Structure 1
Amino acid sequence: MTVNNTMDRFRTMETFVRVARSGSFTVAAKQLGLSRALVSRHVGALEDRLGVPLLHRTTRSLDLTDEGRSYLTFCEQMFRDIEGQERALVETPAEPSGTLRLAAPKSFGALHLSDAIIAFARAQPKLHVQVILENVSFRPTDFGKRGFDVVLQFAPARNASLTETPIAPMDWLVCAAPSVLIREGRPGVPADLARFPCLLHESALPNDRLWRFEGPRGPVTVKVTGTFSSNSALALRKAAIAGLGAALLPRYVVADDLASGNLVPLFSRYRVAARPLIAVYPRSPETPLKVKAFVSFLTEWIASRGGNLTSAAAR
């Protein structure tokens, strides 16, 4: 059967369905944008091909024959099947492909992101993933100049040209080694940190030397000082274990140290606000499929672990 013959067959079948459902050649013609005469010829041609009458025609009514009712059911089911298959084809996304260039903080990337990336790469074999680990504040221009598709960070970008999608909240806490607590005395409340050696973040968040707590009597802010600072949570962790001072760190960095006793959490009645891990990427009318796939995967990957990330890789 030629293409034209196939198209003619579908056209006559569609015309018949319109006539049967509307009960009128005139109404069907208006719906299809055809002349009444052409609609009548379509139905006649269909009846000739099938060799049976599909309609009883009188001057006052238009009724389906038994064969017409059976054929109408067949036609409608066929059109539903075609529409369903086409809709499924359109709605099924293509596999992500090309290159996904990703930037992330060093500590999170070294401890956890590599495991997630391996799992993501296995799930997306057509996608090449590049991971850059560095502790810097990214600017909107970095996406164009450095070719990043996604940046993971703990601080909001607050830029109208960028989209921010929260991935998961990350717990933070203040901790110290037993040795420094013996030497300096254990601080009882956050205000005591003003006179306690602390380990300071460099280029992390604005006012990061102001440590904020939520306590039984409301919020508390303490300005801390110290003689050791770093832009690496891993370096701060090691300095804390060495007894150089108290550190404010993500729980995922020190979870194993807390369990082993190398570090001790401070201020059980006070809580440090969680900081969300945020995926930042250029705002566009349609987010690239590879970015959607990665953000969705990482969100589910962390959620599947209950958000309780450990720091086994730091040992």
Structure 2
Amino acid sequence: MDRLRSMETFVRVARSGSFTVAASQLGLSRALVSRHVGTLEERLGVRLLHRTTRSLNLTDEGRSYLTFCEQLFRDIEGQERALVEAPAEPSGTLRLAAPKSFGALHLADAIIAFARAQPKLHVQLILENVSFQPADFGKRGFDLALQFASARNASLTETPVAPMDWVVCAAPAVLNRAGRPATPADLSRFPCLLHESALPNDRLWRFEGPRGPLNVKVTGTFSSNSALALRKAAIAGLGAALLPRYVVADDLAAGNLMTLFPRYRVAARPLIAVYPRTPETPYKVKAFVAFLTEWIASRGDNLTSSRGRPSVSRPASTGRAT
């Protein structure tokens, strides 16, 4: 029989002074209650109770064992209460995927800071430019992925982390050679660096200006799915590029690149945490998303947009030059 169950039964009998009352309290038959106590006495090799037709009294061994049992149950309740009331601490393994440029330039620093704050958690960071679907998480063992485009799948949960600012920029050399475009519409006749993906929208740059939205179809002789490669091409003077601010912030400050069209803005793109939809999100996932959100916000305008958080359900662009 279950030892803890037998001990609890003995405590009920000893405190109530009745097998019948204890049976009622525990929802058991009187015979089963008697059997629990008998099993304890047989295991311990001592008599715990003096039984007569009119009374039920503890033996000396029974009083000592009752004290032991009650202290044991108090300790168990205290430990369980401490576990429930104590703040959760992530543990185990957190396996996540992130875009290459963001991961290489900034996320690695965030991961290091998170790992220092959560020493019980093993973090695995995989850098690759893909859009994750539900099957990818189970097959490849990922807990979450960071993306710049919505997965648009009901089996996945999407949490906005931060609106990332994007800018159109070019090197002074190409502006001197080809002339500085006055408005976004001039980009249709200006050499541009293209985001390489399967989506034709990567060649349609969207602006918001004094007269409303403006979409410009761009062309060029260089394309890549890497923002880092596009940045190098822009600095080399191959054309204008639409890039995340976090990729070119230092180059803009140093004058290696110049932003174009101050009266127009490019819509920010949301960095999204994507993970399988479950009744209860694992604490390690919630802890990391909260940490990363705060970490990015603390980095200021070099990473995030100051114009507010965009909607995840209607992302500004599905480009993947990352």
| TM-score (normalizing by structure 2) | 0.69
Q: Take 2:301 and 2:283, find their aligned partners in 1: how far apart are those partners?
A: 25
1:1-315 to structure 2, matched below 5 A, reads 89-203=83-197, 207-309=201-303
Aligned length: 244
Cα distance in 2 for residues equivalent to 1:253 and 1:245: 16
Question: After the TM superposition, which of the residue ranges 289-298 and 224-233 deviates more from structure 2?
Answer: 289-298
> Could you say what the CA RMSD is over the residues aligned between the two structures, in angstroms?
2.8
What is the distance in 2 between the residues matched to 1:256 and 1:276?
A: 21
Q: Share of identical aligned residues, percent?
A: 85
Which residue pairs with 1:39 in the alignment? none
Question: Deviation at 1:33?
Answer: 8.3
Q: How far is 1:304 from its partner? A: 1.9
| Separation (CA, whole Å) in 2 of partners of 1:96 and 1:132 | 20
What displacement does 1:89 show?
3.8
The one-letter amino acid paired with 2:276 is P
Gaps of 5+ in 1: 13-31, 35-82, 311-315
Indicate conservation of the 8 Å contact 1:155/1:205, yes or no: no
- CA distance in 2 between counterparts of 1:182 and 1:223 reads 23
Per-residue CA deviations over 1:249-290 (Å, capped at 9, x if unaligned) read 000100000000000000000000000100000000011111
User: Match of 2:131, SS?
Assistant: coil
Q: Secondary structure at the match of 2:280?
A: coil
How many Å apart are 1:293 and its aligned residue? 1.1
In the alignment, the residues of structure 2 paired with residue 249 and residue 307 of structure 1 have an alpha-carbon distance, to the nearest angstrom, of 15
Shift of 1:92: 2.9
Check whether the contact 1:170–1:307 (CA below 8 A) recurs between aligned residues. no
Instruction: For residue 99 of structure 1, report the CA deviation from its aligned partner.
Output: 1.2
Identify unmatched segments of 5+ residues in structure 2: 1-6, 17-23, 27-76, 305-322
Q: 1:196 & 1:6 partners in 2: Cα distance?
A: 88
**Cα displacement (A) at 1:124:** 1.0
**After superposition, what is the alpha-carbon deviation per residue over 1:206-242, rounded to whole angstroms, capped at 9, x for unaligned?**
6111000000010000000000000000000000000
* 3-state SS of 1:207 partner: helix
**Shift of residue 135, structure 1, vs aligned partner:** 1.3
